[in-house]
Amino acid sequence: MFKDIFRLISENETIVIARHKAPDLDAYGSQFGLYYALKETFPTKAIYAIGDTNHLNRFREMDTVDKVTLAKALLIILDTSVRQMMDGDFFEGAKIVVIMDHHQNDSDIKNSIFYRDTEISSTSELVATFLLANGVKISKQAAFPLFSGIVGDTGRFLFSTKPETFRIAALLTETGISLSSIYNAMYTESLQMKKTKIDYLSDFRISENGVGYRRNDQDFLERNNLSSQTASRGLVGQLSGIREIPIWANFTYDTDTRKILCELRSREIPIVDIAKKYGGGGHLLACGCSVASWEETKLIVADLDKLLEEKQWTNN
């Protein structure tokens, strides 16, 4: 299918590249990596990168497109395949829709060309593989976001990493990107954030069978001057690496939607079916959903706890 997608890119003069809302580094990395590679390969085409933005965007400003432009565009959606994760239903107005993703979800976006590889580490690696398969040169400018996205989704090559992931990473580093600048931007933080993490760890809970979880209510957000998205994505890793906690969950009140953002993680036991049960999805060991109330988060913890009981997990 790579050849078919590239043929569509070659045939269309207007290309719009989108990804899921509340973007993480893989969403940004795949989007801007593809954007820069296509701009350099097809300098006369009108190419746009659209979507909401946040503090992780250190690549370029987002574009905006109107309905007239979208109606004549090839729209490429990256790092998601479900409507719930999109920032509106703008994609319904596109001339052609192509989706490239690596999550476990089936697509519910109708009339789209859907390519998925759940075995690959990240959509950034998927995009790099796609470009190389079609003979597209990946410049230093395109390699910077692609490498960042791979590092972000693999947790510095700890998760979902295969030999091909390292081969792609090696090719990207050969362009001359600065690894120190990438890692410093990703893994240094303010003193205030360090204090926030202390606050976070002062009040988490562990279920009977070992599910660690934390509920970040509006008071917690205001006390630490946090946005909902920063608390949801930025703090989910605080309960990782604890021997007694094989599965952990981060529940955050979303001040915009008034729903609860649920980030679920596991060291070894697949949990994506539980995320899907509540309307979400993602990876086998890293997934999420959103629910309407704190009461529903109790049901999620109970389901995760039951899963550990069924698996007869022990930390011995």
pLDDT in tens, 151-169: 999 989 988 899 999 999 9
Looking at 144, 163, 186, which one is the last position of a domain? Answer: 186
Q: Does one domain contain both 73 and 16? A: yes
The model's pLDDT over 7-19, given as tens digits with 9 standing for 90+, comes to 999 999 999 999 9
Q: Does one domain contain both 89 and 234? A: no
Q: Does one domain contain both 203 and 162? A: no
Structural domains in the chain (count): 2
Range of the domain at 20: 2-186
Q: Does one domain contain both 170 and 236? A: no
Q: Alpha helices of 122-262 — where are they, by DSSP H? A: 123-133, 140-154, 163-173, 179-187, 191-201, 218-223, 228-234
Q: How confident is the model at residue 316, as a pLDDT? A: 59
Q: Does one domain contain both 142 and 72? A: yes
Q: Does one domain contain both 303 and 250? A: yes
CATH number at residue 53: 3.90.1640.10
Q: How confident is the model at residue 158, as a pLDDT? A: 87
Q: Does one domain contain both 198 and 303? A: yes
Looking at 186, 218, 252, which one is the last position of a domain? Answer: 186
Q: Does one domain contain both 105 and 179? A: yes
Looking at 186, 217, 235, which one is the last position of a domain? Answer: 186
CA 272 to chain centre: 14
The model's pLDDT over 53-95, given as tens digits with 9 standing for 90+, comes to 998 999 999 999 999 999 999 999 999 999 988 988 889 999 9
Q: Does one domain contain both 254 and 125? A: no
The model's pLDDT over 207-263, given as tens digits with 9 standing for 90+, comes to 999 999 999 999 999 999 999 999 999 999 999 999 999 999 999 999 999 999 999
pTM (2 d.p.): 0.89
Q: Is residue 316 part of a domain?
A: no
Residues near 264 by beta carbon (within 8 Å), at least 6 away in sequence:
247, 248, 249, 271, 274, 275, 286, 287, 288, 289, 300, 304
Cβ–Cβ under 8 Å, residues 305 and 207: yes
Q: Is residue 174 part of a domain?
A: yes
CATH number at residue 199: 3.10.310.30
